[in-house]
Structure 1
Amino acid sequence: MRPRLVPVAMAVVCAVLGAAVPASARDATAPSATAAELPGPIEDYFDLSDFAPEPWRPFRSEDTTLPGGTYCSFDLHLRVVEDEEMVRVDSRYPDGSVHINEYKGKLIVDFVNADTGATVRRDLSGSGAEEFRPDGTRKTLGGVGPFGVRFKATDAYPAGYYVVDGIHVTTWDTAGRRHMPLAIGSEENICETLA
């Protein structure tokens, strides 16, 4: 088994699953790990062959309402309370389109049951990365929580809006159906919390 580094100062594309990165991007002080100590083969989740991070830039989430029956039985309103998120492109396809985006920074959100007014505030300030297929469709979303992921009734995971903590990976098959092949840590279904 070849050793892999889990860079301390690297962003989540590598930290999410302990991926190997080009020697020029490694943190020499990072602890080493063997493949057997990692949660799974990195190649199954992210393709890091063209890892070439661009500069960080601000990213802002917007308030939104998710219609009842899609994720929760009620309209779920997400109200952004604090947002200091950053995004950078970690790799691009030869045509210049984004292959992998990486996210970090503070995000605090109020989740509101639009029917009852019940509200909970959650910290979604984890770090994560998303990979796109060449056609622009989403392939993988992974992160070190806390962050939010959502699943419809037609997905391969129980429907809901989840605040996850720990290490989680969500994948989309070519039909758009979502799966969660890696879940290490906690999952809170906000729909159940606010029901």
Structure 2
Amino acid sequence: MACPGLAALMREDVDAVLAHDPAASSRLEIALTYPGVHAVWCYRLAHCLWQRGHRLSARIISAWARVGSGVDIHPAARLGRRLFIDHANGVVIGATTEVGDDCVLFHQVTLGGVAMTPGKRHPTLGDRVMVGAGAKVLGPITVGSGAKIAANAVVVKDVPEGCVAIGVPAQLKQTTPKQREHDVIIDPSLYI
């Protein structure tokens, strides 16, 4: 991500909230009151600093963002465009995490590791992935584009494109085209 495009990315982040959150009423409301948006904006600045070698400054910004928003995003993570973190509180995104474009994460989501070794140790999410409240996606796994992770699922294996992962440990369910049209993942019985 190039730093000169921060303002455009910030506008896209606000537009993503308008597209996904029926409770959002205006761009100004989102910009001033949505902690998930604030966390993503702080990440974008911290990530630019991280890429330029200003590691301490990047970590300070991410630490302040965590205090202010309840979201812990490592500045080395790679987050795509139009990420929406709904309700925000308790979200953790590890250093080697990669998130595609147009993804939605709910509160208490962890995109974390399972080992303390160097190298890739956090998940990769494709485009248009939705991760439900309280879900844990752990390790250097891949979640394919259009996949959904149900609330409170624990995912430790790859999830193919367009599938739904439900349960502890998560089991995969295929979805129909009609089910893929909807963002509903609160009721896992829809996919069983």
Q: Per residue, is there more helix in 1 or in 2?
A: 2
TM-score by length of 1: 0.28
TM-score by length of 2: 0.28
Q: Per residue, is there more strand in 1 or in 2?
A: 1
Looking at CA atoms only, which structure, 1 or 2, has the larger radius of gyration?
Answer: 1
